[in-house]
Amino acid sequence: MIGSGLNALGILCGSLLLAASSTPESPLHVPEAARSLASQGEKAFAQGNLKQAETLYKQAVAIDSGTPPLIISLAAVETRLGNLDESRTLLRKALGLDLDNSAAWLLLGMNALDQERDEEAFADLIQATLHDRKNPRAHNYLGIAAGRKGWIEASEEELRRAVDLDPTYADANFNLAVLYLRRTPPLTELARRHYQRALDLGAQRDQAIEDQLAKTVAVPTITPSASAPLP
């Protein structure tokens, strides 16, 4: 439903790595060799060397196959390489180790969106938001999934939540602009505001949106006087 011009698979950037995954509440005892390989894999991923990143992460997972962030990082690389079935298998394995892992649910939902498995995507992304309510990316993609199902109010709610959580999130602003233009009648000024905000944040221009905004004349809002009778 939402034609945001963004690739649902290209946004989970950076590895989901170990830097933020070992906490006092849930310590991860990752062998140093696996940690070193994962660090190299993260750098290769960031530089766009996906095949090298895949090799490094596979080596890390071969050393330590019981750490979900390592498995999810490899799944993210497989996703970027277009190996969605392999990514899905890895993510299911990670969830078998940690069913509450929101990153795994998020990438699983993003993969399903890319494959147009909309029911599955919606279910996975619901899990992603339940396990991490403050993740704007999860709410953005849940908004896309809801929109594909024709649930416009739910879609708007999730996209607005994404923007509220991160006002600098260009994709969510872009998606809101698309959604508002597809309302009947279009909510032109809201669409214009979110589209411009997305551009300011680095989104690419979209000629179809700009053409529609140019054709649509905003209707001025009439504010009734205090003495006007209620309808």
- pLDDT (tens, 9 = 90+) of the chain, 231 residues, equals 444 333 333 334 343 444 334 433 444 678 899 999 999 999 999 999 999 999 999 999 999 999 999 999 999 999 999 999 999 999 999 999 999 999 999 999 999 999 999 999 999 999 999 999 999 999 999 999 999 999 999 999 999 999 999 999 999 999 999 999 999 899 999 999 999 999 999 999 999 999 999 987 544 443 433 333 333
Q: Which two tokens stand for residue 97?
A: 């180790």
**Contacts of residue 123, Cβ cutoff 8 Å, sequence gap at least 6:** 109
Identify the CA nearest to 172 among candidates 151, 143, 150, 131: 143
The CA angle 77-79-81, to the nearest 5 degrees, is 70
What CATH superfamily is the domain 33-99? Tetratricopeptide repeat domain (1.25.40.10)
Domain ranges of the chain: 33-99
pTM: 0.82
